[in-house]
Amino acid sequence: MAGVKALVGLSFSGAIGLTFLMLGCALEYYGVYWPLFVLIFYILCPIPHFIAKRVSDDSDAASSACRELAYFFTTGIVVSAFGMPIILARVEAIKWGACGLVLAGNAVIFLTILGFFLVFGRGDDFSWEQW
């Protein structure tokens, strides 16, 4: 039952983050949809982790080069997602209020992604390799 509660909580926080993003785009005062390009970063964020988890060996080492490289790429993706709205606001493609809403949405979405990996990312008896 704890897994269901966690899934519902993560879904709710993801919806709140996407609501902030949509408000930053769709409010009549802001009216431009350039901030929606951060959706690309939301999709790209977990990919290095999945690749590193699949490629790295199952040793109990504290760190591996593959995992550290995945952390590096993930950090670059997250920083880019926070930097893009700021750059768009600096060149006046979007207003600063929209930038604030997109940054708030980014924080909520990336914390949701982190929460997903903390709750559902721990090892268990199920493995995709058995398929």
Q: What residues make up the domain containing 44?
A: 2-120
Whether residue 54 lies inside any domain: the answer is yes
Predicted pLDDT of residue 1? 64
Instruction: Provide the domain count of the chain.
Output: 1
Cβ contacts of residue 124 below 8 Å, gap of 6+?
none
Q: Output b/e per residue, 16-40; b: 16+ Cβ within 10 A.
A: ebbebbbbbbeeeebeeebbeebee
Instruction: Tell me what pLDDT residue 130 has.
Output: 41
**126 part of a folded domain:** no
| Helices within the chain (DSSP H only) | 2-26, 38-44, 47-55, 65-90, 96-120
Distance CA 77, CA 60 (A): 27
When the pLDDT of each residue in the chain is averaged and rounded to a whole number, the result is: 86
What pLDDT is recorded for position 2? 65
113 within domain boundaries: yes
Instruction: Give the model confidence (pLDDT) of 49-92 as tens digits.
Output: 888 888 876 665 666 888 899 999 999 999 999 999 999 999 99
Residue 100 is assigned to a structural domain of this protein: yes
- Domain assignment of residue 129, yes or no: no
Q: What is the pLDDT of residue 131?
A: 41
Please state the pTM of the whole predicted model. Answer: 0.83
